[in-house]
């Protein structure tokens, strides 16, 4: 999707791919095999690039820092990436900026684990490093379950973040694009629906009071400035009554912004490219009163075999298939619908996902 945005801007792009089946490799002619966790691969790849950017945070941060000192331009920088690559560091950085976060504890020992579970019997356990797309986040309903899981996680010798389960009213996200000099644009917040830690649905606008929307956008801008991101930052926030709690950050194009390809004047992918190249940023406004993006989650069915039925289901829906093997629970595409109201867009998008053979969880209200 970043490559598609680059084509219209005439920006030549190269890709470092971990696998020959990577989505970008299927459409981009200029790529090489390698790992972002390899200093050798990063050094070889970056030698042919003016600017290097990322689509995930699983990278060799020490290698990045060495390459930055030698003159390689990474946007976002290793400093910004380090904030989000470690969940404990993320909590500290957001707290230091004066923004509210959920209660949390760092846990390194069984004794500290028992103390945390005693305070929060229903808890969320997160290894400080690793995890992606909902993986690496574990919700436990009682201390015995938490103790058993927590001891296994501590055995990996990675610090553990333990938090209470937050009974939030809604979960929202806001994306900010920021240039090198600090110029930024803030997208309208979206409401996200998570099932088993995996994003299933994104809708805009949120329907929240305008004052709350402005507070959410202000939080996004403050985070972008505080970590000096160049590119995008996505900020996931819990809405709890009158309170807003910053939950997670990502410094890359984010699933909560996929609706922007058709649903906004300028997509998150185009604004990411503009930002990392220090070009003027595009208008982020919504183009319709209601926009819904629904992820296609694998069931084992190849969605391309259902494409005719899905296109016939709704000629106004926009289907994006990623060319990935349709393994069960894998994110393999998304569908976006722009409509006169959010409820209409949601119903139409889910109907297309169902026609493609994707999962339709019980939590969905259609």
* Confidence (pLDDT) at 132: 54
Question: Is there a single domain that holds both residue 117 and residue 230?
Answer: no
Which of 57, 85, 113 delimits the end of a domain? 85
pLDDT at 355: 98
* Domain annotation covers residue 314: yes
* pLDDT, mean of residues 156-166: 90
Mean residue pLDDT of the chain comes to 94
Percent of the chain clearing pLDDT 70 (strictly above): 98
Domain membership of residue 92 (yes or no) is no
Q: For residue 311, what is the domain's CATH number?
A: 3.30.470.20
pLDDT, tens digit, 9 for 90 and up, residues 324-365: 999 999 999 999 999 999 999 999 999 999 999 999 998 887
Backbone angles phi, psi at 233, to 5 degrees: -130, 135
Cα–Cα distances in angstroms (integers) from residue 188 to residues 19, 168, 286, in the given order: 35, 20, 7
Query: Are residues 62 and 184 both part of a single domain?
Result: no
Residue 127: which CATH number?
Answer: 3.30.1490.20
Residue 365 lies in a domain: no
**185 and 281 Cβ atoms separated by less than 8 Å:** yes
Looking up residue 74, the CATH number of its domain turns out to be 3.40.50.20
Q: For residues 142 and 68, state if they share a domain.
A: no
Residues 125 and 236 in one domain: no
Note the pLDDT of residue 197: 85
Query: Residue 23 is part of which domain span?
Result: 2-85
CA–CA distances in Å: residue 120 to residues 107, 167, 291: 13, 13, 37
For residue 58, name the pLDDT band (cuts at 50, 70, 90).
confident
Q: Choose one of 58, 85, 112: the last residue of a domain.
A: 85
pTM of this structure: 0.94
187 and 155 part of one domain: no
Instruction: Provide the pLDDT for residue 134.
Output: 55
Mark whether 41 and 117 lie in a shared domain. Answer: no
Q: What angle do CA 15, 200, 327 make, to 5 degrees?
A: 60
pLDDT by residue (tens digit) across 130-159? 655 556 789 999 999 999 999 999 888 878
The answer on 150 and 275 residing in a single domain is no
Statement to judge: residues 77 and 217 lie in one domain:
no
- For 266-283, how does the pLDDT look when each residue is reduced to its tens digit (9 = 90+)? 999 999 999 999 999 999
Q: What is the DSSP string of 44-101?
A: HHHTT-SSB--SSS-S-HHHHHHHHHTT--BSS-HHHHHHHHBHHHHHHHHHHTT---
Place of tokens 């089946």: 21
Tell which residue, 134, 122, 243, 260, has the closest CA to residue 194. 134
Report the DSSP pairing between strands 15-17 and 31-33. parallel
**Do 123 and 254 belong together in one domain?**
no
Residues 55 and 129 in one domain: no
Predicted local confidence at residue 135, as pLDDT: 64
The per-residue pLDDT for 292 is 98
State residue 346's pLDDT score.
Answer: 98
For the chain, the C-alpha Rg in angstroms (whole number) is: 20
* pLDDT value of residue 52: 96
Give the number of other Cβ atoms within 10 Å of residue 156's Cβ. Answer: 11
Residues 53 and 8 in one domain: yes
**pLDDT surpassing 90 at residue 286:** yes
The per-residue pLDDT for 156 is 82
Residue 14 lies in a domain: yes
Q: Are residues 153 and 8 in the same domain?
A: no
Q: Which of 23-27, 55-59, 101-105, 129-133 has the lowest mean pLDDT?
A: 129-133
Q: How big is the CA angle at 252 (ends 276 and 9), to the nearest 5 degrees?
A: 45
Domain boundary at 140, 164, 188, which?
164
Say what the pLDDT of residue 97 is: 87
Total domains in the fold of the chain = 3
């Amino acid at each position: 999707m970043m490559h598609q945005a680059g084509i219209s801007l005439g920006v030549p792009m190269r890709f470092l791919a971990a696998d020959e089946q990577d989505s970008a490799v299927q459409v981009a002619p200029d790529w090489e095999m390698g790992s972002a966790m390899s200093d050798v691969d990063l050094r070889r790849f970056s030698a042919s690039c003016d600017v290097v950017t990322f689509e995930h945070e699983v990278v060799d941060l020490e290698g990045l820092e060495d390459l930055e000192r030698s003159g390689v331009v990474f946007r976002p920088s290793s400093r910004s990436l380090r904030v989000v690559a470690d969940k404990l560091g993320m909590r500290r950085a957001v707290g230091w900026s004066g923004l509210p976060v959920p209660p949390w504890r760092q846990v390194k020992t069984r004794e500290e684990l028992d103390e945390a579970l005693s305070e929060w019997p229903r808890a969320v356990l997160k290894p400080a490093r690793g995890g992606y797309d909902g993986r690496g986040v574990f919700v436990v309903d009682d201390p015995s379950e938490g103790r058993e899981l927590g001891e296994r996680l501590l055995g990996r010798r990675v610090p553990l973040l333990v938090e209470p389960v937050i009974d939030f009213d809604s979960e929202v996200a806001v994306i900010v694009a920021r240039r090198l000099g600090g110029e930024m644009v803030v997208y309208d917040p979206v409401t996200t629906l998570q099932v088993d830690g995996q994003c299933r649905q994104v809708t805009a606008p949120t329907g929240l009071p305008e004052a709350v929307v402005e507070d959410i956008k202000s939080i996004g801008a403050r985070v972008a400035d505080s970590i000096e991101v160049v590119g995008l930052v996505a900020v996931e926030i819990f809405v709890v009554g009158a309170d807003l709690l910053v939950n997670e950050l990502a410094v890359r194009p984010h699933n909560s912004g996929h609706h922007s390809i058709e649903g906004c004047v300028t997509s998150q992918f185009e604004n990411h490219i503009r930002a990392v190249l220090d070009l003027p940023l595009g208008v982020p406004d919504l183009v319709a009163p209601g926009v819904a993006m629904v992820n296609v989650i694998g069931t084992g069915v190849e969605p391309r075999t259902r494409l005719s039925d899905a296109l016939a289901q709704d000629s106004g829906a926009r289907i994006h298939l990623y060319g990935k093997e349709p393994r069960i629970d894998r994110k393999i595409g998304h569908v976006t619908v722009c409509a006169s109201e959010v409820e209409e867009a949601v119903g139409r998008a889910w109907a297309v996902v169902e026609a493609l053979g994707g999962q339709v969880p019980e939590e969905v209200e259609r």
